[in-house]
């Protein structure tokens, strides 16, 4: 029988904001809505090459700094890395005109320049997560001189795959021009609804799981923090969404080298830096058929594929992340930093 007192306590906690993004940091760069956080080191930095984390535009940055003990950032800082986080911020109505080209050839270029100036280094390492990884690949193709190492987490590359998102995003199923012309920025409600429809029953069963584990304080804390993050989405600038959808889900031009940002073609074969591609076996958002092809498209001599158990978010806070992804990626980075 469920303990109604504990259930009441859980619901009370659910109303309050959980202690997310706990790792101490300072803002070292801002531009428009974005800001760059530098995490306060725990002792001396062991590695000279600074590490920049590039997140998706859809969700907030702190999934990789969710809570104490469930924070990739916290782990990396303790390992001696000089860690910087790109927080894209929350776009306003006037930001609907910001393009994908702006994000790659202006924002990312300026962020890397700011980190290099702050750290005194000549090159950086980048960790790209989900859509942030795809954007990091675009940057790496066009600006490889500043990039030493690239680590991808659950990153889509081939968008012609068996996933539901791929089906929904096809030109015959989704008029992205009409959508952006109507809404401007992509509304948070649309983004949340789309991801909820990927696993509609999970929105019910997750609360059953919570009730069954309500005596496990660690489970409850993680549930509340993750659920808060899931619902703390941000709109995506309309023109960026239009550009991204057409280049990926609707033409898959990133794969064949026909995608352009400004006047330059984004060719993945230009990428020669060290590459670690981390993928999840049961990722329903970025299936293996989408994430693994990069291994044959870059010209990096030093490249490695790490495949682990779990789903999309298992690479950020799941058991596979804590036991395998975090220590393996830190080992890989340390040997190259």
pLDDT tens, position by position, 238-273:
999 999 999 999 999 999 999 999 889 999 999 999
Question: What are the Cα distances from residue 183, in Å, to 57, 93, 178, 180?
Answer: 17, 10, 9, 5
312 is catalytic: yes
3-state helix, strand, coil in the chain (%, to 5): 50, 15, 35
Residue 25 has pLDDT above 80, yes or no: yes
> Which of the four pLDDT bands, split at 50, 70 and 90, describes residue 279?
very high
Domain CATH code at residue 126: 3.40.50.1820
pLDDT tens, position by position, 214-227:
888 888 889 889 98
282 is catalytic: no
Which among 292, 12, 272 is positioned nearest to 152, based on CA atoms? 292
**Integer distance in angstroms from the first to the last C-alpha of the chain?**
53
What DSSP state is assigned to residue 185? Answer: S
Whole domain around residue 284: which residue ranges? 4-334
Residue % of the chain over a pLDDT of 90: 75
H or E segment and range at residue 264: strand 264-265
273 is catalytic: no
Total domains present in the chain: 1
Query: Which position among 103, 130, 273, 313 bears the catalytic label?
Result: 130
Q: Whats the size of the chain, residue-wise?
A: 337
pLDDT tens, position by position, 43-68:
777 899 999 999 999 989 999 999 99
Q: What is the pLDDT of residue 212?
A: 85
Query: Which position among 87, 101, 243, 312 bears the catalytic label?
Result: 312
Mean pLDDT score, 80-87? 97
| Buried-state track 200-218, b at ≥16 Cβ within 10 A, e below 16 | eeeeeeeeeebeeebeeee
């Amino acid at each position: 029988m469920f303990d109604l007192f504990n259930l009441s306590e859980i619901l009370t906690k659910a109303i309050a904001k959980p202690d997310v993004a706990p790792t101490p940091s300072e803002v070292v760069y801002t531009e428009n809505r974005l800001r760059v956080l530098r995490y306060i080191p725990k002792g001396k930095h062991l590695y000279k090459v600074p590490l920049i984390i590039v997140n998706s535009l859809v969700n907030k940055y702190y999934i990789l700094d969710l809570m104490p003990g469930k924070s990739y950032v916290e782990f990396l800082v303790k390992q001696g890395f000089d860690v910087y986080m790109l927080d894209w911020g929350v776009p306003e109505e006037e930001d609907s005109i910001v393009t994908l080209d702006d994000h790659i050839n202006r924002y990312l270029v300026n962020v890397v320049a700011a980190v290099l100036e702050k750290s005194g280094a000549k090159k950086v390492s980048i960790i790209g997560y989900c859509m942030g990884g795809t954007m990091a690949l675009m940057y790496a193709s066009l600006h490889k001189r500043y990039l030493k190492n690239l680590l991808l987490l659950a990153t889509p590359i081939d968008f012609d795959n068996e996933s539901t998102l791929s089906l929904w995003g096809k030109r015959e199923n989704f008029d992205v021009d009409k959508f952006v012309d109507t809404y401007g920025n992509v509304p948070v409600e649309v983004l949340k609804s789309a991801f909820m429809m990927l696993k509609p029953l999970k929105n019910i069963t997750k609360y059953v799981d919570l009730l069954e584990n309500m005596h496990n304080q660690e489970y409850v804390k993680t549930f509340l923090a993750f659920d808060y993050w899931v619902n703390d989405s941000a709109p995506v600038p309309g023109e960026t969404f239009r550009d991204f959808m057409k280049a990926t889900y609707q033409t898959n031009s990133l794969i064949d080298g026909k995608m352009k940002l400004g006047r330059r073609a984004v060719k993945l074969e230009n990428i020669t830096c060290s590459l670690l591609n981390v993928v999840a076996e049961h990722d329903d958002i970025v299936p293996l058929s989408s994430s693994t092809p990069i291994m044959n498209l870059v010209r990096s001599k030093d490249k490695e594929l790490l495949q682990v158990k779990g789903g999309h978010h298992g690479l950020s806070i799941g058991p596979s992340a804590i036991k395998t992804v975090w220590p393996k990626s830190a080992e890989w980075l340390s040997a190259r930093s």
